[in-house]
Amino acid sequence: MFKVHAIAPHRLPELLRVMPKAELHIHIEGSLEPELIFALAQRNGVTLPYADVEALRSAYAFSNLQSFLDLYYAGASVLLHEQDFYDMAWAYFEKAKADHVVRAELFFDPQTHTARGVGMDKVIGGLSRACRDAQTQLNISADLILCFLRHLSEDDALATLQEALPWREHFIGVGLDSSEVGHPPEKFARVFARAHELGLHVVAHAGEEGPPAYIWSALDVLKVERIDHGVQAIHDAALMKRLADEQTPLTVCPLSNLKLCVFKQLADHNLGQMLEAGLCVTINSDDPAYFGGYLNENYLQTFAALQLNAQQAYKLAANSIEASFAPEADKHRWMHELKLCFQGFSEQD
Ligand code: ADE
Ligand code: ZN
C-alpha cells in the first residue's frame, strides 16, 4: 500500500491540479462551449434561438436533468460535418491537457446526430481522428464510448449499434444516458446483451436522479462494469455494501450534481461518505461547458467544500486510473507517475 504523507492544506490545490488523472465520464457534446456553438452555427448556416453567446450562457440555469437535456440537445444541433466533431473534441482535449488528464474515455450520443440526418461516419470519423491526435500531439490516451439515449426505444438503440458496427474498431464500449426516471436499465437488456457478445465494455448512468433499484438492475440485468453517477446508492445499505464488496467504480460528477439540483450545495454532496464507506469513487466533469468547470475545477471545488485531504486525492486519482479501460501497461505507468507526483510534494514540505 502506497503511503501518502500529509501535505500542507495550502498546497493541496496545486497537487490536485498537477496529479495525473483519468476522466471516465465526459459527454463530448457537453464540452461544447457557447463560443464554439456560435462559431459552428455561423460556419454551418444554422440559426440559433439566442441572440449571442451571453444570452445562451445566461440560459444555463437548470432545475433538474431534463431542463438541462433540452438545452444540451439544442446546442448539439450545430454539429453537421466531420470537422465539427473533430473541433469539438479537440477543444476538450486541450482543456484536458491543462488539467493533467492522461486518459479520457469520451461518451458520445450518435442518435442525437443521426436523427438529424448526420451520418455515423461523420460522427465517429471526426471524434476518432481527434482521439488519435490527442495521443500523438498531447500524449493523452483517449477512447470513445457510444451511448444510447434511454428516452428512445430499445429497437432504436439496437439499430444504432448495428449502424455503428462498420466502425467497431473506433469505440471501446457502450453506455446509457439521457432522461433517467421512467427509463430503467432493464428496458435495454437486449442491446446490452448484444454489446457483451461483441466484446464491448459496458457502462450505464444509474442513480443520478433515479432510485437505487436502477443501480441494481444496471448491475444485474445490464451487467455493467462501472456505474455512471450512482450517488442515490446512499439510500440503500445493501447496495452500498455490494458496491464496496465488488469495488464497482462509480463515475461521480459533483458540479453536475450541484447544477442539476441533485444536492442543494456542494457541501451536502455524499462523495466523502461514499469514499468513507469504501466505494471505488472517481471524480469527473460530465458536461463541463454547461456545469461550470472541467475536471480540475470539479476536484478543487469538491475538496474545498468537503474538506478532503491528500490521502483522498491519491485514492480518487488512483481509482480513476485503475477503473479506466486502458491497457494494463499504461495504467501501471500512470500509477507510477502518480506516486512520483505525491512523493515530490511530500519531499518539499
Ligand atoms: N447526457 C449528458 N449529460 C447527462 C447526464 N448528466 N445524465 C444523463 N444523460 C446525460
Ligand atoms: Zn453523464
Q: Considering the chain, what percentage of its residues have pLDDT values greater than 90?
A: 98
Distance separating alpha carbons of residues 316 and 296, to the nearest angstrom: 12
Distance separating alpha carbons of residues 337 and 77, to the nearest angstrom: 40
Question: Is residue 69 within 8 Å of 128, Cβ to Cβ?
Answer: no
C-alpha cell at 145: 464510448
Reported as a single tens digit per residue, the pLDDT across 75-100 is 999 999 999 999 999 999 999 999 99
Distance separating alpha carbons of residues 80 and 194, to the nearest angstrom: 29
Q: Closest ligand 1 atom, CA of 287?
A: 3
Amino acid at 253: C
Q: Average pLDDT for residues 175-197, to the nearest whole number?
A: 98
Q: Average pLDDT for residues 69-74, to the nearest whole number?
A: 95
Q: Closest ligand 1 atom, CA of 253?
A: 6
Q: Calculate how far, in angstroms, residue 94's C-alpha sits from the geometric centre of ligand 2.
A: 20
Q: What is the pLDDT of residue 1?
A: 80
Q: What is the pLDDT of residue 349?
A: 64
Q: Does 347 have pLDDT greater than 80?
A: no
Closest C-alpha to ligand 1, atom 8? 178
Q: Average pLDDT for residues 281-306, to the nearest whole number?
A: 98
C-alpha cell at 318: 488512483
- Mean pLDDT, the chain, rounded, equals 97
Q: Average pLDDT for residues 98-123, to the nearest whole number?
A: 98
Q: CATH code for 9-348?
A: 3.20.20.140
| Ligand nearest to the backbone CA of 262 | 1
| Ligand nearest to the backbone CA of 65 | 1
The DSSP line for 70-86 is HHHHHHGGG--SHHHHH
Ligand 1 binding pocket, CB closer than 6 Å:
27, 30, 65, 72, 177-178, 205, 208, 256, 286-287
Q: What is the pLDDT of residue 346?
A: 85
Q: Considering the chain, what percentage of its residues have pLDDT values greater than 70?
A: 100
Q: Calculate how far, in angstroms, residue 293's C-alpha sits from the geometric centre of ligand 2.
A: 14
pTM above 0.85, yes or no: yes
Q: Calculate how far, in angstroms, residue 294's C-alpha sits from the geometric centre of ligand 2.
A: 13
Q: Average pLDDT for residues 173-187, to the nearest whole number?
A: 98
C-alpha cell at 91: 477543444
Q: Does 210 have pLDDT greater than 70?
A: yes
Annotated catalytic sites, by residue? 208
Burial of 254 (0-12, 13-18, 19+ CB in 10 A): buried
Closest C-alpha to ligand 1, atom 1? 178
Q: Average pLDDT for residues 204-230, to the nearest whole number?
A: 99
Reported as a single tens digit per residue, the pLDDT across 236-255 is 999 999 999 999 999 999 99
